[in-house]
A and B are shown apart, each in its own frame.
Chain A
Amino acid sequence: MPDTGAARLERAFREAGRPLFVPYVMGGYPDLEASRRHVQLLARHADIIELGIPFSDPLADGPTIQAAGQAALDAGIRPSDVLAIADDLRGGPPVVVMTYFNTVIAHGAAEFMAEAASHGVAGLIIPDLPVDEAADVRAAARAAGVALIALAAPTTDDARMQQIGAEAEGFVYLVAVTGVTGGEMSMDDRLRALAERARRHIPVPVVVGFGVRTPEQAAQIGQIADGVVIASEIIRRIGDAPDAGAADAAVDAFGAGIAEALAR
């Protein structure tokens, strides 16, 4: 019996010896091959890779991720293309896929989970599936050995934190800001108190994301949480690069900088 996704994720936290770096790559942006290369480059520095399947109506995402996803959809990228990227990472950092609920149920949740598992995907993040609606999908994920990663937010009260914690597998993704992706977080007492509250109620590791841009911010988050997710900033750097070679170099350098900041 191979390891479940939850077991692989939990091992990643145990073995890292520092706060985890979880970079996000939008599958198929700016094209499929480039996103494969970016995943490989980031895997040198990362502990878990978050791989995005583009969706037509991403409610939790700001303009940067929206535009990247739309570009991928315009180029004809399909969920199966993105899941196949995970094949390249077997033996490397575990992959968690992030997509919206309608992508998961379009062919049936069980079918989606089985396909994800067949590509070695360890976990799944569905930002529009709150814990109260997730029972069936969680069962399908468990049956396939894929961890359903829950999200918690600044507006989540203690009772819900406990509910989220009771069902949590792998890790919990704590949203740093009241808002969508792509803004800018700031380290303050509110965020510290939020992370502390989340860790009190949630027995699995807690990773913080949304609005993290710099190595300094990553290091600050490393002091209050078990890991940090960075998404829009990576996409922005790819978009700003003059050509594919420069984008690869930018991704590699950015990943190295974050990993270094977290190791300090």
Chain B
Amino acid sequence: MSVNMRFGPYGGRYVPETVIGALDELTDAYERYRDDPDFRSELGVLLGHYVGRPTPLYRARRLEEAWGLEDGLWFKREDLCHTGAHKINNALGQVLLARRMGKQRIIAETGAGQHGVATATPSALVGLGCRAYMGRTDMQRLRLNVIRMRMLGAEVTPVDSGSGTLKDATSEAIRDWVTNVDTTHYIIGSAVGPAPYPEIVAEFQSVIGIEARAQMLEETGGLPGTVVACVGGGSNAIGTFRGFIDDAGVALVGVEAGGEGPAGRHGASLALGRPGVLHGSYSYLLQDDDGQVAEAHSVSAGLDYPGVGPEHSYLRDIGRVRYVDATDEAALSAFLECSRREGLIPALETSHALAYVRDRAAELRGGGPVLVCLSGRGDKDVDQAGAALGIDASA
């Protein structure tokens, strides 16, 4: 079976010639190991005993009550994965693949630091050197994850170009890969980049949706009416949606970063961008008339990205998924509300999905259970959210 290179017109491999051979090699390795029993069993054992899968499905009764969602509000608890977010589902799969490909070195870009931590972790486990590129701005706002990566033995290289955020870190990681492609595997952290990455990342993340669907059936005897996930590059969203894409009755909603709101800076590529090429694939993109890529903005570093994965562009165009956005302010208040009512401090990224559910509860009411991918926990965000919300550690 071959690997998807395009999703409708989106995707492709718009990268320097130097790395085409490596993309071919990765495609071959993935085709070879995807259904290989040894590979799947090694990955399965580690997902179970190391990552902590399957993650629970949890009914958030207090928020359900507060928001008037009588049909039920359910969280798929990716925040309980080892390292604190869904990112490790992909990173672990790719580290095992890299080892089979004989690579000696792992590189990654990271925005929130969550993918960096998720990559440094299995790299330590199998003994591969790891370097993470992270924008200088993000290193300041996600200090805790920088320390975690370094404790895990990874090198963290600050990136000063552009706005010092995820876009710039990704460009720098790709430049490293172009230079060290013979020895190095690049683990991209979202369902973006040149083919075959979007397909590989989506497939490693599809465990979220596959588990969630079975758990919903078991817990409620039916499927959710609406499934909601936040969208940065789109890996937790595509992983969740893949479990439900063939269930025509299940509404799928992706929530992008609305940032400062419609008049200000934001990260809503699907709502407000137009198709273009960034980081190797053709997809919706925030850009100016000349095709210069715009700087995104979001309170959450993981959604602060002007592009989005190509499969989402396709799902948008065919109308299978609806893409909406939530502002910084809405996300911060949902962050606090989830913490106070459920005792779950969600990641700021995830808080965008929660803000949408809260603010559109009137529309969701009566439409069946709502399932949210709780993509990560908010430990990494306490400095930044604390500052924004006026909560600190002083006496």
Contacts and interface: CB of A to CB of B under 8 A. Distances in A.
A66 interface: yes
Nearest to B20: A130
Given A59-B174, A59-B175, A105 B291 contact: yes
B15 A106 contact: no
A70 interface: yes
B13 A56 contact: no
Interface stretch (A5-13, A116-124, A155-163, A220-228): A155-163
Given A130-B13, A155-B18, A180-B179, A102 B293 contact: yes
A203 interface: no
A102 B17 contact: no
Given A130-B20, A152-B17, A175-B17, A106 B182 contact: no
A128 B16 CA distance: 5
A105 B277 contact: yes
A57 B17 contact: no
Which of A55, A60, A103 gathers most chain B CB within 10 Å?
Answer: A60
B21 interface: yes
A114 interface: no
A257 B280 CA distance: 38
Contact of A160 (B16, B20, B292): B20
A35 B175 CA distance: 26
Nearest to B295: A56
A184 B15 CA distance: 22
Contacts of B289: 106-107
B277 A102 contact: yes
Interface string B284-327: 01010111110000000000000000000000000000000000
Nearest to B25: A155
Interface in A94-143: 100-107, 127-133
A239 interface: no
A154 B291 contact: no
Given A57-B167, A62-B175, A105-B291, A155 B280 contact: no
Contact of A154 (B18, B171, B279): B18
Given A57-B171, A128-B277, A103 B291 contact: yes
B161 interface: yes
B181 interface: yes
Contact of B277 (A101, A153, A154, A179): A101
B161 A59 contact: no
Interface string B330-369: 0000000000000000000000000000000000000000
Contacts of B291: 55, 102-107
Nearest to B14: A128
B101 to A, nearest CB: 15
A159 B291 CA distance: 33
A102 B189 CA distance: 22
A104 to B, nearest CB: 8
B147 interface: no
A102 B182 contact: no
Contacts of B179: 178-180, 183
B12 interface: yes
A132 B13 contact: yes
Contacts of A160: 17, 20-21
Interface in B162-191: 162, 167, 171, 174-175, 178-182
A29 to B, nearest CB: 15
B278 interface: yes
Nearest to B18: A153
Contact of B276 (A66, A106, A152, A175): A106
A70 B293 contact: no
Interface in A153-202: 153-157, 160, 175, 178-180, 183
Nearest to B171: A57
A102 B287 contact: yes
Contact of B178 (A59, A73, A100, A130): A59
Contact of A60 (B12, B21, B178, B285): B178
Contact of B16 (A56, A59, A104): A59
A78 interface: yes
B19 interface: yes
A251 interface: no
Nearest to A128: B14
Given A56-B292, A179-B178, A180-B175, A155 B277 contact: no
Given A70-B161, A105-B276, A133-B14, A180 B287 contact: no
Contacts of B13: 130, 132-133
B46 interface: no
Contact of B17 (A106, A151, A179): A151
Given A59-B175, A102-B278, A106-B276, A128 B18 contact: no
A144 B172 CA distance: 35
B22 interface: yes
A103 B14 contact: no
Contacts of A152: 17
B282 to A, nearest CB: 8
14 contacts: A56-B293, A59-B16, A101-B14, A102-B278, A103-B291, A105-B291, A128-B277, A132-B20, A155-B19, A160-B20, A175-B17, A178-B178, A178-B179, A180-B178
Given A70-B161, A130-B17, 8 more contacts: A60-B178, A78-B290, A102-B291, A106-B276, A106-B287, A127-B16, A128-B16, A183-B179
The 9 closest A-B pairs by CB, nearest first: A106-B291, A179-B179, A102-B291, A153-B18, A56-B292, A155-B21, A153-B17, A56-B293, A60-B16
Interface of A: 55-57, 59-60, 62, 66, 70, 73, 78-79, 100-107, 127-133, 151-157, 160, 175, 178-180, 183
Interface of B: 12-22, 161-162, 167, 171, 174-175, 178-182, 276-280, 285, 287, 289-293
